[in-house]
Amino acid sequence: MNKKKTYRFSGGVHPPEEKLTRSLPIEEMPPPKKAYIPLSQHIGAPSSPVVEPGDKVNIGTRLSDPGGFVSAPVFSSISGKVVEIVDHPHTLGRSMPTVVIEAEGTDEWDKSIKPRTDYEALSPDEIKSIIQNAGIVGMGGATFPTHVKLSPPKEKPINAFIINGAECEPYLTADHRVMLEMPEKVVSGAMLIGKVLGVKKIYVGIENNKMDAVEAMRDVVKEDNVEIVPLKVRYPQGAEKQLIKTILNRDVPSGGLPMDVGVVVQNVGTAVAVHDAVALGRPLVERITTVTGPGIKNPKNLKIRIGTPISEVIDYCGGLSEDVGKVILGGPMMGLAQYDLSVSVIKGTSGILILTDEMLDTTAQGPCLRCGNCVTVCPMGLTPLMFGRYTELGMFNEAERNNVMDCIECGCCAYECPSHIPLVHYAKYAKAEIQAARRKRA
């Protein structure tokens, strides 16, 4: 196979690698006794329930209908009875409508779910419809509904498709294990997505600290139009725009999307979910998640049912250490800290990271030193010190003029800031205020 030349995106950082679980095979966690399945697990409109308390459900029974085109249904991950639909703590930090299902001792799939023997003959529209109805969203954490990404407008033709296996976040190894243990499914899902997009070329980008995954993927690729591309280790290599720059040397314009340069990017876990939906007829009811960090007794890579409370996952991994300081969903650079362990695993939960007290940086924020470190490492070419200061002052229009909306919230600026200024927090705050103002004007 030809070795593809790769390019380099500007900025970025190289945090210490802490892949504690890289050699641990995926273990299947038993289903929860009570599943808490939020009706919103994606970017876009929440879905609407189609079940009521008292209804009997099995694995794969549809619980909701999408609330619009940019939305996705959710499905039961266990067999049991719907006991209530209530507001319940969500990983985003607030309570959201959630279907609560109590297990009844069996673990059966819904009778409507059957494998397809002729799935390779399906048309692109049929495949896309299956993906949409299976509730598949981006499994890398962004949770953008997959069928939306596969529906670019006609004026934006797609000529390249990238499978994202970079997994550049320190600590996380879920994608690594997926590529090692189920490379056939990754390739099958990639081929199905490629068929929907009508592309001639598919790339699989993997950071070169996972060369065993590179080899495992190369071993199963039989098609000439699929190329495995080892990538230099540099965070945020796995961000869409940086991945496109590195592999294709194309620059996504400010305010634009990958489709603006003819590209679609999907995570390796999403490819597996697409394979399972199309070939096996299974909606998205489980995912691979890394549970790791010095604050958990037995780190693992787990296959977990959607709706499993985080507290149960932690218990399954031996519990928290006595000096636990913070629980984060996702990686240390882009993940969200949690204050309530009753939140549940959702479609985008790529990792559960537990840090100890001594790992937390409690240094007080100092004044900006104008050192320029945040500018140097910003992979989007932005000036975080400017939009950070404007946000501090509540000058959101000025923050917008300094391109805060292009911030991908990777955390490089805050990681390098010697004054410990929470620049990502400011960026998120400013973006929320700007979007709220836009909605008012609409």
Is 168 annotated among the ligand-binding residues? no
Rounded to whole angstroms, the Cα distance separating 227 from 425 reads: 37
Q: Reduced to 3 states, what is the DSSP secondary structure of residue 196? A: helix
Which two three-digit tokens encode residue 436? 């709220």
Dmax (CA) of the chain: 63
Is 412 annotated among the ligand-binding residues? no
Rounded to whole angstroms, the Cα distance separating 117 from 121 reads: 9
Is 374 annotated among the ligand-binding residues? yes
Is 317 annotated among the ligand-binding residues? no
Number of other CB atoms surrounding residue 264 within 10 Å: 23
Query: Which single residue is written with the structure tokens 């597996």?
Result: 272
Residue 174 phi/psi, 5-degree rounding, is -60, -45
Rounded to whole angstroms, the Cα distance separating 235 from 8 reads: 12
The DSSP letter of residue 167 is -
- The residues that bridge with 288 in the sheet, in sequence order, are 303
First to last CA, the chain: 52
Query: Which single residue is written with the structure tokens 């509904």?
Result: 145
Residue 265 phi/psi, 5-degree rounding, is -120, 135
Strands (E) in 306-432, as ranges, are 324-329, 336-338, 351-356
Where is 289: in which H helix or E strand? strand 286-292
Burial class (CB in 10 A: 0-12, 13-18, 19+), 275: buried
Q: Are residues 138 and 41 in contact, defined by beta-carbon separation less than 8 angstroms?
A: no
Which two three-digit tokens encode residue 262? 């003819």
Q: Which amino acid is at 124?
A: P
Task: Kindly give, in sequence order, each residue whose CB lies less than 8 Å from that of residue 423, ignoring residues fewer than 6 positions away.
Answer: 374, 384, 385, 388, 413, 414, 417
The upper half-sphere exposure of residue 101, i.e. CA atoms within 13 Å in the direction of its Cβ, equals 36
Known binding-site residue numbers: 368, 371, 374, 378, 407, 410, 413, 417
Residue numbers in the known binding site for [4Fe-4S] cluster are: 368, 371, 374, 378, 407, 410, 413, 417
